[in-house]
Structure 1
Amino acid sequence: MAEWITSTMESLDYWGIALLMFLENLFPPIPSELIMPLAGFTIAKGDMGFVPAVLAGVIGTVLGAFPWYYLGKAVSEERLEHLADRYGKWITVSSKDIKKANNWFSRHGVRAVFFGRLVPGVRTLISLPAGINHMSFIPFVLYSTIGTSLWVIFLTTLGYLLGDNYELVDEYLGPVSKIVLLSLVIWFIIWIVRKRNRRYE
């Protein structure tokens, strides 16, 4: 995977970044945690500019969010979950992933699109519940762009600072993302318990 990402970026330059980030949103197994840090490393060598690389990453990501968004609009949640359980293994997406993304959207509303772009494991699929719940297109693009920009800048900066060790971003961010997700689940459970306790007071 790392070799393919490297060769694509070397041969296509900024177009390669946009293409890879577009595909990363369609196929979750492709990690943005490798793509943008590699771009940051390339910037550190003087072979790319920071702003164009970030713009390419943001544009590719936002464009890659549209297919999931329109799929959510066109197909019911139940049908999507059935399809995910039947064919999702090819892109590592299950009905549980769809439920998790939809629950995230239900809890946070349109803000979920912004925050979801910053959480690995949620960021790719958050477009689905936005479509399922018929979120307006302009707010969807706006929140997606802002959240994506922060994520892309963060990863690119890490790659720039780490230099030759840019691959450490993917190595260490994986466990960190799991901690973030666990923390969010714990916070949500506490929130539910407190809300129920208030009802009985």
Structure 2
Amino acid sequence: MGENQMQVPAAGAADGLGGLVGVAAQAIDRLGEWGVGAFTLAETILPPIPSEVILPLAGYLAKQGALNLFLVFVTSLLGAYAGALFLYWLGAKLGLERSIRGLSKLPLVDREDFEHAADWFRRHGRSSIFFGRLLPGVRSLISLPAGASAMPLGTFSLYTLAGSGLWNGALIGLGYALGTQYRLIEQYSRFLNYAVYVALAVTVVLLVVRRAKRAKANR
């Protein structure tokens, strides 16, 4: 079967994708490039929202002609940077401990995740801002200790944009590269659905276990 037969028209680019991935693809298709930026902003502030799902889908939709590839990259980078700036500002304004105490009350977020990011920053310094953007569990939260330690904003911005650009570009490029292989995208979407469901279930279980242990230790 030729490539032209496998490519999906832009108007129905997200129609064949089911489950959580299908819902995300439909949302991105309707919201456009700025919707990608909004999703990336939310993912930066609320780590359980996975960029590993959103950005490849955006790249896939760009390949189908539903989105502009360059604008997808730019808006995703702006969203990631805006979210990083918010957490940087929060750390600078409230300090690390108060920020962690407040944010750890969010659903599916645990204090240990913030402490892990803070420890990563203490051990690796400014380079942690760049490399941390490539590591799940550290990528979003590394901005807090950077702001709390008064890291220069220019340095923080440079490392954030470089690391986030590399990460976002790789994921968007993956989706774009797979864009003409519609059947492969369908298989990929089913795999992603299972992976996301499992990840969310594991996150919830770990969060419950951690908090139960902490409550028991505080008695």
TM class by shorter chain equals: 0.7 to 0.9
Please say if residues 29 and 66 of structure 2, whose CA atoms lie closer than 8 Å, have aligned partners that are also in contact.
Answer: no
Question: Following the alignment from structure 2 to structure 1, what is the Cα–Cα distance between the partners of residues 80 and 101?
Answer: 26
Partner of 2:99: 80
How far did residue 2 of structure 1 move?
Answer: 3.2
How far did residue 4 of structure 1 move?
Answer: 4.3
Please say if residues 159 and 169 of structure 1, whose CA atoms lie closer than 8 Å, have aligned partners that are also in contact.
Answer: no
Match of 1:118 among 134, 141, 153: 134
Partner of 1:64: 83
Structure 2 unaligned runs (5+)? 1-19, 200-219
- Note the alpha carbon deviations across 1:77-116, whole angstroms, 9 max, x for none: 232333345x13x2x2222111111111111111110001
Question: Following the alignment from structure 1 to structure 2, what is the Cα–Cα distance between the partners of residues 24 and 102?
Answer: 19
How far did residue 44 of structure 1 move?
Answer: 1.8
Structure number with bigger Rg: 2
Q: Quick one: which amino acid aligns to residue 15 of structure 1?
A: W
1:26 aligns with 2:42: no
Partner of 1:137: 153
Match of 2:163 among 132, 140, 147: 147
- Note the alpha carbon deviations across 1:146-175, whole angstroms, 9 max, x for none: 000000110011112233425356849x99
**Cα distance 1:52–1:136, how it changes in 2: closer, same or farther (>3 A)?**
same
Question: Following the alignment from structure 1 to structure 2, what is the Cα–Cα distance between the partners of residues 81 and 60?
Answer: 22
Number of residue-to-residue matches in the alignment: 171
Structure 1 unaligned runs (5+)? 176-201
- Note the alpha carbon deviations across 1:24-79, whole angstroms, 9 max, x for none: 11111111111110011112212223222111111111011111111111123232
Q: Give every structure 1 segment of 4 or more consecutive aligned residues whose post-TM-superposition deviation is greater than 4 Å.
A: none
Match of 1:45 among 64, 83, 95: 64
Higher share of residues assigned helix: 1
Between the aligned residues of both structures, percent identity stands at 36
- Normalization by structure 1: what TM-score? 0.77
